[in-house]
Amino acid sequence: MTTAAIKSFVDVAPTSHFPIQNIPFGVFRRKDGEASIGTAIGDMVVDLGQLEAANLLRLNACNGRPLFDKPSLNSFMAAARPAWREARQILSLLLRADHSTLRDNKKLRDNAIIPMADVQMILPCQIGDYTDFYSSREHATNVGTMFRSKENALMPNWLHLPVGYHGRSSSIVVSGTDLRRPRGQTKADDAPAPAFGPSRNVDFELEMGFFIGPGNELGTSIATSAAREHIFGMVLVNDWSARDIQKWEYVPLGPFLAKNFGTSISPWIVTLDALEPFRCPGPQQDPPPLSYLTPSEDFSFDVALEVLLQSEQMPSPQAICRSNFRHMYWSMAQQLAHHTSNGCNLRPGDLLASGTISGPTPESYGSMLELAWMRTKPIELPGGETRVAINDGDRITMTGVCERDGLRIGFGDVTGKILPSIV
């Protein structure tokens, strides 16, 4: 199913993120307003509700009960991995060039396979809870160096547990949603008192996130070895941040309003099965983690990531960061095990994000805070503009793609613009 040789009867450009081997899941809205679960192939969207209604997508794993006649993926996420795999197998077969069932059913095809350009992507599920980790050693070291010192860059706990905090799900938005510059309380180092007003230091954070499948009961935990049964799939995440608000508010309980004014995600959830050819070892962990965090297998993924910025003056976007998900120190399996180690329950559709993904080299730093090194090294843009933070009208776009042996599995992108603040 993941060999590059399999082709679909739907045209897929060589540069597409969505060949027949990907089969991501998302939710889209047609022009008439109806929302449906879909998959992406090339530039087309396949309406899974239509295929289910035509009895082509009834899963044995769920005794044929309907899963795709809904405007969100929560039920399918809860149905667990056997259902996810069966759905991918059926869709992979239905979309094959050498399989006639859908290919030769013109009426169903015309109804169920529609141009991506004619639909609007919406949030893929109801996200009950959102947790944000801080799992890139390079990012934590950079930030620690800036705010403390090189010697004390990592806090004493950092190499022993995946540090995280509870975010807010209500302000998670799908790619394409523009956000207003947040207002908040800030205090300049030399100012006698704090002030309230629009943030002057809005930043992006390059992250990836994963959605929870069946989840766990309160009072139980999930072992690292069970991660595949619990991770439905991954998306790109831009965890917008207001650095000036964060700096003043975060002591002692951590980030609050600096983070919850908006978090953008890419609309298509790519499954771990699609990413399997790109699974790879993560960084060596020293000291070895405690036994409940010991990995049972390699659980990193080779996803090339890019961040692009386009100002109102620029005719096209410019890449300002190139990183890779494989740099993450703590894996998704470890984050999952740690999050549930105290008996905390996770529910279908919960989102857990990685934290900013910075790599070892300056061009791989996953935030403007690091790229412009605390406003001391402005980022130069074509046309002569420079940036140390995001200006009004700037569009930030993130992409992610895996490539090997002619196989290309991508995430599409997550894009959004910062609009002037409310006054």
Catalytic residues: 139
Query: Is residue 244 a contact point for Ca ion (CB under 5 A)?
Result: no
Enumerate residues 211-240 that contact Ca ion by CB under 5 A: 239
Whichever of 50 and 135 has its CB closer to Ca ion, that residue is: 135
| Cβ atoms 338, 222 nearer than 8 A | no
Q: Are 132 and 162 in contact (CB under 8 A)?
A: no
In the complex with Ca ion, which residue's Cβ is closer, 233 or 366?
A: 366
Closest separation in Å from C-beta 356 to Ca ion: 6
| Two tokens, residue 244 | 């000036």
Q: Does 273 bind Ca ion (CB under 5 A)?
A: no
Is 203 near Ca ion (CB under 5 A)? no
Evaluate the CA torsion angle 388, 167, 132, 228 in order and state its sign: negative
Residue 9 Cβ, how far from Ca ion at the closest point, in Å?
Answer: 41
- By the rule CB under 5 A, 306 interacts with Ca ion: no
Q: Cβ closer to Ca ion: 2 or 169?
A: 169
* Interacting residues with Ca ion between 334 and 363 (CB under 5 A): none
> Rounded to whole angstroms, how far apart are CA atoms 330 and 160?
10
Q: Does the protein bind Ca ion through residue 370 (CB under 5 A)?
A: no
Q: Rounded to an integer, what distance in angstroms lies between the CA atom of residue 230 and that of residue 255?
A: 27
Q: Least distance (Å) from Ca ion to the CB of residue 260?
A: 11
Sheet of 304-310: strand order equals 179-180, 407-419, 395-404, 304-310, 318-324
Single out the segment in contact with Ca ion by CB under 5 A; choices: 27-35, 101-109, 200-208, 391-399: 200-208
Q: Is there binding between residue 413 and Ca ion (CB under 5 A)?
A: no
Does residue 112 contact residue 91 with C-beta atoms inside 8 Å? no
What's the CA gap between 145 and 158, in Å, rounded?
Answer: 14
Closest approach of Ca ion to the CB of residue 354, in Å:
8
Do 387 and 147 contact (CB within 8 A), yes or no?
A: no
CA atoms within 13 A on the CB side of 178: 11
Output the residue with the shortest Cβ distance to Ca ion. 239
Which of these segments, 43-51, 90-98, 113-121, 198-206, binds Ca ion (CB under 5 A)?
198-206
Determine which residue in the list 205, 249, 306, 413 makes contact with Ca ion, applying CB under 5 A.
205
Least distance from Ca ion to the Cβ atom of residue 194, Å: 23
Size of the site for Ca ion (CB under 5 A): 3
Q: Which class for 103: exposed (0-12), middle (13-18), buried (19 or more C-beta within 10 A)?
A: middle
Facing residues of 324 across strands? 304
Interface with Ca ion in residues 112-171 (CB under 5 A): 132
Q: Which amino acid is at 247?
A: K
Contacting residues toward Ca ion, per CB under 5 A: 132, 205, 239
